[in-house]
Structures are given as structure tokens and as C-alpha cells.
Structure 1
Amino acid sequence: MKIRRLRDALLQQEDLNFLLTNRVPRILLTRFMGWFSKLRHPWVRDASIAVWRLFADLDLSDAKKTRFDSLHDCFIRELKPGSRAVDPDPSVLASPCDAIVGACGAVNGIEVFQAKGFPYSVAELFGDARAVEPFRDGCYATLRLTSSMYHRFHAPHDSRVERVTYLSGDTWNVNPIALKRIERLFCRNERALIEARLHAGGHRIAMVPVAAILVASLRLRCLDVLLNVRYRGPKRTDCEADYRKGEEMGWFEHGSTIIVFAPKGFTLAKGIETDTPIRMGQALMKSA
């Protein structure tokens, strides 16, 4: 209990938090964590998960496995069948992941916010001015996955992924403290643009998983490659990958952020606002 109080006190010191999670060799530390987390030694695994529990509210009660091969195995854990209910309403885009809702609302032309007073261009985020046009004056929601959350993400609707664009970049922390200090942070970090089309109605949607310090690795089921700081393959890959609503699309190696975009005519679902917790499958957006 005393350790948790100390942890909470440290995390509330914004200057210290920012220094410890950003003013470090971010990419080097991320590569080290990628190697360390995959060590399969029982002592390393057990000690790492025990330390993780001290600094995060880690709940493994809904995990499919009860024993893990490594820290990494625990990070990318699957859920027990039936652990999440997916909203069946065909007018609803479901949340692709467990998260805390960050900045969200209407897209102002092609501009959105990462935090109050910190706008950025969706064209810069996408790395392609043409790709942003379907979402002009549309709707967006920023979904932040904390370190202890379930780290896999799923299809918001019955849809086909048509293109994936990988954009290499930095690995700044994406917590609220950093978002209030680093302009255009999401546009600076490593990320992928997933462009999809809904089976019903043909509406375009987009998802942008953004990597962060310690988590600059992304797996997509529609691509047989690991997207990370060492990836040297094509930046843009055309796909024809069909998903049912709620079907798993991929996962972060740890946790980070997913920004969801829908076209004009969609609005946030009832109750969705900044700092709201949400679980995979709950209503995120709704068409008119």
C-alpha cells in the first residue's frame, strides 16, 4: 500500500514524469525493452510481472492464459472467449480496444486536437494529403491504452482493410503530460495508417495506431511483418483483408494509442467524452 501511494505521488509530479519518460535515449531504451521482455527465464518473467504490478493496476482475471512464457507474452495476452461484448447495432462503430478516451469530437476541416490548445493536421498524421479527404469535417476519437490494459485491437465494423501505410518516427511517450507539452506529438511518432471500407454503405474509416516509448512494435494480421523502428520494407501496402465486427486485427507489443476516424455523418456515441474509460466492443461512434 505504501509503495502504491509513493507510485501515485511520483506520477503526479508532471515535470519528473516527463523527464523520466521522455528525456532519455528513447529509441535505444525501446529496443532494449523489446529484447528484455522476450526473455523466457522464469525468474526474469516473474520478477518483471511483479514489478509491473507495483506500478500499474494489472488485472489478468480475464486473460485466456494463466501462465505466461515471458513478460512480452503477458503484454500481448489474449482474452477469455466472451470477455467483451460487441455492440451489434449496424449503425455503430465499436471501440477497437480497451482504452481511455482522449481528445475526440468533430474534425475541423482536416484539423483535430491531441490536447486542449494543441491542434495538428490529419494530413500530416496520415502522411498523405489525399487520404485525409474522406474524413474532412468528419469525426475522430483518440483512444489511449495504458500499460496494464489488454493490448490487442479489433475491427470497429464489418469492413475490408484496403491499405496500410507505415510511417517511421520517434518514440515519445503519449501520456497526457507529454501531449500537453510536445506539439504534433502523434505526427512525430512511429505509426501506421490503416484504411478500410465498411461492407455496408461503403463508408471509409481509418485507424492510426501510434507507437510510443517501449512500445514501438506493431503486428497486423493482414501483413506478415513486424512493423517497428527496424522495419525497412515498403511504406505503403495494398490489402484485401476482410474482418467481421469485433474480429482481431492486430496488437501493440505493449500499449499506446489508436486514433479512429469516420467520415462526415458520424458522431460520437452517447457518453463518449475525454477521460471516459471504454472497452473493446462498446459503441464509439454512430452514423446519422
Structure 2
Amino acid sequence: MRCGKPRFRMRLGQKFSVKGLLGPDVSSDDFIDGSIVIFRLAPQDYHRFHVPVSGTIEEFVDIPGCLYTVNPIAVNSKYCNVFTENKRTVCMISTKEFGKVAFVAIGATMVGSITFVKKEGDHVKKGDELGYFSFGGSTVICIFEKDKIEIDGDLLGNSARSLETLVCVGMRLGNARSSP
């Protein structure tokens, strides 16, 4: 499939603590046993990020940290966890279809700047520009509450085989699950 910008390399199945990822100032209780989607940006990729779901931005929480590389070797290293040790900003979005969604923008080597173009209280629509990273590779992680999203089977299959999937803004990654 030909994919115009923006694009990300999507991968699921990394191991880390959601509490560690969200930091001490964000309650992680809503995300216990939830779904996590990881988008890794390489230096040559588009470095703006977009809202994954429609809703209202509740808060931004900045978490200081290092700026380790997010290349696959570092991400899979047993010596550090770049997702929970790197500088990051958590953006909490309240939605009708998915409940709370945590959108985490993670800095990396040469990416000390994470800029959001929306503010707390803004109503956003899926696909709206949310912000950007300055030069370099980086990562965006979306965390959904338990049983709120059904990730597409092809993405789950690739993740099970430790394969990244090239995705573009606007591509379907899954659907909201119906309320029980």
C-alpha cells in the first residue's frame, strides 16, 4: 500500500509498567488490563502527531526524564526502559466511545522538544493535529481502558511475530467495543 505522510511504525506487545509510563501524577487505575498501542517514529518520518479519538482534552502532565534512543535495539534492551525513563508528556482525553484514553508523547535522542498545539478543555476530533516533536526519532503510545477497543487482527498478528507495521494517520487500527 502506498502511504503518504504522516506515517508511523506501529508495534504492540512491549513490556513495561503502565504506572511507570504515566508517572506518579496520573492515575493508572483506569488502564489496568487495558490495550496499549505503540507508534515509533524514525528520524526520517513525519514528526507531527494527531488525535487518535474524538473527545475532550482533560489534562497534560509533563514527566521529566532522559533522552535515550527509541530504536528497536534500545527499546528491547534489558538495561533500561526508554518508555518509562525518557522525558514524556501524558495527554488525557475523555471520549464517549472509548472512555479515557492516555496519549503519551515520548522524547528521544535529539528530541528534547514535545509541543502540543491543543490545550486543556479543547474538544478535539479524530485526526486533528495534536502536536509535534522537533528533529529526531520518537514514540507515541496510546493506552485504552480495558474492553474499550478491539485492535485489528492483522496488527495483533504482526505484533505476535515482533513485526512493526507501517501505518498512516487515518488508517483503521481497531474499533470501539460496544458497552456490555
Judge same fold: TM > 0.5, yes or no: yes
May I ask how many residue pairs the two structures share in their alignment? 166
Equivalent residue, structure 2, for 1:158 = 54
Equivalent residue, structure 2, for 1:185 = 82
- Sequence identity (%): 26
Alpha-carbon shift at residue 102 of structure 1 (Å):
2.2
> 2: distance between equivalents of 1:286 and 1:268?
7
> Equivalent of 2:8, from 99, 107, 116?
99
> 2: distance between equivalents of 1:270 and 1:129?
34
TM-score of the pair, normalised by structure 2: 0.84
On the 8 A contact 2:53/2:126 being kept in 1, the answer is yes
> Equivalent of 1:278, from 156, 167, 170?
167
TM-score of the pair, normalised by structure 1: 0.54
Equivalent residue, structure 2, for 1:109 = none
CA RMSD of aligned residues (A): 2.0
* 1:138-157 equivalent positions in 2, closer than 5 A: 138-157=34-53
On the 8 A contact 1:154/1:247 being kept in 2, the answer is yes
Larger Cα-atom Rg: 1
Instruction: Give structure 1 regions of 4+ aligned residues with deviation exceeding 4 angstroms.
Output: none
> 1: distance between equivalents of 2:20 and 2:62?
13
On the 8 A contact 1:145/1:256 being kept in 2, the answer is yes
SS in 1 for 2:173: strand
Higher helix share: 1
Higher strand share: 2
* 1:41-80 equivalent positions in 2, closer than 5 A: none
Equivalent residue, structure 1, for 2:132 = 251
Alpha-carbon shift at residue 177 of structure 1 (Å):
0.9
Which structure exhibits the higher relative contact order, with contacts defined as CA atoms closer than 8 Å and separated by 6 or more residues? 2
Equivalent residue, structure 1, for 2:20 = 124
Amino acid at match of 1:282: M
Amino acid at match of 1:250: G
Q: Which segments of 5 or more consecutive residues in structure 1 lack a partner in the other structure? A: 1-61, 63-82, 85-96, 105-112, 114-118, 224-238
On the 8 A contact 1:123/1:129 being kept in 2, the answer is no
Alpha-carbon shift at residue 196 of structure 1 (Å):
0.5
- Distance 1:202-1:171 versus aligned 2 partners, 3 A rule: closer
SS in 2 for 1:120: coil
